[in-house]
Amino acid sequence: MSDDADDAAAPDFSDVLVIVPAHNEATVIFDVVSGLRKTFTHVLVVDDGSGDGTAQIAESAGAEVAKHLLNLGQGGALLTGFRIASQLPRIKWVVTFDADGQHRVSDAAAMVEEARSKDLEVVLGTRFGEGSSEASFAKRTLLKMATRYTRFSTGLKVTDTHNGLRVMTSSLAGRMVITDRGMGHASDILDYIAHHKVAWAEMPIHVHYTEYSRSKGQSMSNAVNLVTDRWLR
């Protein structure tokens, strides 16, 4: 029993559900899920109406899978994940994690630990911690502008918005209101945090942009849609 000391030191993540919204991610989902499963017991892939076998591959990598019969968008997939988490009594924490492989599992684990130790309801990953981003100059500028807009509209002193890596309590996830089923959900989440005075903090994370994640990520022109959609609602 020489491992006892190690076992005691290893954090227990059995009350954490990692939610991975995925739409046509067959090429990367296996690696993302198996990477997560080395640390987290429960990984839920919300297959958002994929037509490329994402669900089966995710299952074979050890994920639980919830299937949308139609594509609803990332916000819709997250909301489904939140509802599932809030109905599982053993689950106390929820992690949202992108399916394209740009997030690090170690960051997610550290964020859960941070939330637990500091009694926070939400920990948001930020790409603008020191040396933690590989984004291009144009993307950084755009993200900074989006962040300024969010600071202004929510009053939250965030340093990053629209970053998919977050940790929150499952009870908060169950109460979360997401009205935008598309990419605008990130602003909905921040709005909810601001309006309900949720205890939150940011934590620097490393985002690894690959050729693949760039091609799957939001286009710069989509930023305009995000803002105008919010005004139209």
Chain residues binding another protein by CB under 8 A are: 14, 17, 42, 44, 46, 64-70, 72, 76, 79-80, 83-84, 87-91, 181
**In one letter, which amino acid is 40?**
F
Least distance CB 172 / another protein (angstroms): 17
Neighbours of 136 (CB within 10 A): 12
Nearer to another protein, 82 or 128 (CB): 82
Output 85 or 165, the one with its CB closest to another protein: 85
Residue 81 Cβ vs another protein, minimum distance, rounded to whole Å: 9
Cβ atoms of residues 115 and 123 within 8 Å: yes
The DSSP letter of residue 207 is: B
Which residue number, 46 or 120, has a Cβ lying nearer to another protein? 46
Give 62 or 204: the residue with its C-beta nearer to another protein: 62
Dist CA 184 CA 1 (whole Å): 50
Give the shortest CB-44-to-another protein separation in angstroms. Answer: 7
What is the end-to-end Cα distance of the chain in Å, rounded? 60
The nearer residue to another protein, 75 or 217, going by C-beta atoms, is 75
Q: In the bound complex, what is the minimum distance in angstroms from residue 111's beta carbon to another protein?
A: 20
Please, what is the minimum distance in Å from the beta carbon of residue 184 to another protein? 14
17 contacts 41 by C-beta, under 8 angstroms: no
Secondary structure tally for the chain: helices H, strands E: 10, 7
Beta carbons of 205 and 126 less than 8 angstroms apart: yes
Instruction: Give the number of C-alpha atoms closer than 13 A to the C-alpha of residue 25, restricted to the C-beta side.
Output: 26
